[in-house]
Chains A and B, each alone.
Chain A
Amino acid sequence: MLRSRTVPRRGWNLEFVMWVFTRVSGAAMLILGALGMIGALIMGARTQMDLATLMRWTFFPNPNHVVNSNIPDINLGWVSLYWRILQTLIVFFGVSHGFNGLRVVMDDYIHHDAVRKVLRVVILVLWIAVMAVALYIIITS
């Protein structure tokens, strides 16, 4: 059941900032996905990768993400600062966009203010935890 709730004053409050962030990060992920796919094709994915592998690279351009896919010379071109920055951006935008979305959905269905506040903290902790693990994977890959 959806219920009405009080909203903060107009202006630069959390809801507005996150509303903007959702759109910006969504558009950014579309662009990053295109960059990943085009970059992979330029580096020879057309003959070296099957479609599933190309998709894996598009969603997360990490050498370990395609390590099971039998790509020759994975260290040539596929590991570079460019791809590291792209991975970090995709993880940051994707995870943040997702956990903020979970907060928006949760706000719609939880009626008790106290429960909502607790769940917001839980989502914040989960966001930090998943971000930390994902960044650690990128750094150590």
Chain B
Amino acid sequence: MSDGRNPGLEGLGYKRAGTMWSWMLHRVTGVGMLVFVAMHVIAAFSLQNLGGGGFGKVFNSLFESWPFQSFIYFCVIFHALNGARVIILDTWPKLLQHQREATWLTWLIFIPIYGLTLLILIQKGLSGG
């Protein structure tokens, strides 16, 4: 904050928070996916063009583990849905007066899709698949 004050935990309730939390999560999930994709491209290059083994294998076994997949699916699904909300509201600015409802709608779509994903991932993870 440019005036040097630290809002502390109260800052987390800024304007009843909902859309600000989406904004923060959008950044965190975006950077998370960028790190994943960059590492994944390099791991794929190692496996496909350098003859396998080495760090490519280490990265890939990490990427295929279910805790990591739960994280990356959270990033992808949230970032995609929230991004779609941002595109729609930016294209039709009149809808901005409903942005609180739009944010809730995003979560309403996100929860069943991600819940199902998580269920499948954990079931597979626990059965060793």
Chain A interface residues (CB < 8 Å from chain B): 1-4, 23, 26-27, 29-30, 33, 51-52, 59, 64-65, 94-95, 98-99, 101-102, 105, 126, 130, 133-134, 136-137, 140-141
- Residues of B close to A51: CB separation below 8 A: 120
In the complex, the answer to whether B2 meets A4 with C-beta atoms within 8 Å is yes
Distance A134 CA – B30 CA, assembled complex (angstroms): 19
| Chain B positions 71-92 with a Cβ under 8 Å from a chain A Cβ | 76, 80, 83-84, 86-87, 90-91
CB distance from A15 to the nearest CB of B (A): 14
- Residues of A close to B48: CB separation below 8 A: 64, 137, 140-141
- Residues of B close to A102: CB separation below 8 A: 30-31, 34
Contacts A98-B30, A98-B33, A102-B34 given: A137-B84 contact, CB under 8 Å?
no
- Residues of B close to A105: CB separation below 8 A: 27, 30-31
In the complex, the answer to whether B90 meets A137 with C-beta atoms within 8 Å is no
Q: Interface range on chain B: under 10, 10 to 19, 20 to 34, or 35 or more? A: 20 to 34
Query: Does B45 interact with chain A (Cβ within 8 Å)?
Result: yes
In the complex, the answer to whether B41 meets A3 with C-beta atoms within 8 Å is no
In the complex, the answer to whether A1 meets B1 with C-beta atoms within 8 Å is yes
In the complex, the answer to whether B83 meets A26 with C-beta atoms within 8 Å is yes
Helix, strand, loop or mixed for chain A's interface? Answer: helix
In the complex, the answer to whether B37 meets A133 with C-beta atoms within 8 Å is no
In the complex, the answer to whether B41 meets A130 with C-beta atoms within 8 Å is yes
- Residues of B close to A130: CB separation below 8 A: 37-38, 41-42
Residue of A at shortest CB range from B47? A64
Distance A4 CA – B90 CA, assembled complex (angstroms): 23
In the complex, the answer to whether B31 meets A133 with C-beta atoms within 8 Å is no
| Chain B positions 21-62 with a Cβ under 8 Å from a chain A Cβ | 27, 30-31, 33-34, 37-38, 41-42, 44-45, 48-49
Distance A105 CA – B45 CA, assembled complex (angstroms): 28
Distance A102 CA – B27 CA, assembled complex (angstroms): 9
In the complex, the answer to whether B30 meets A101 with C-beta atoms within 8 Å is yes
Can you spell out 23 A-B residue pairs with CB atoms less than 8 angstroms apart?
Answer: A1-B2, A2-B1, A23-B86, A23-B87, A26-B84, A26-B86, A27-B84, A30-B80, A30-B83, A64-B48, A65-B44, A94-B37, A98-B30, A99-B34, A105-B27, A130-B37, A130-B41, A130-B42, A133-B45, A137-B44, A137-B45, A137-B48, A141-B48
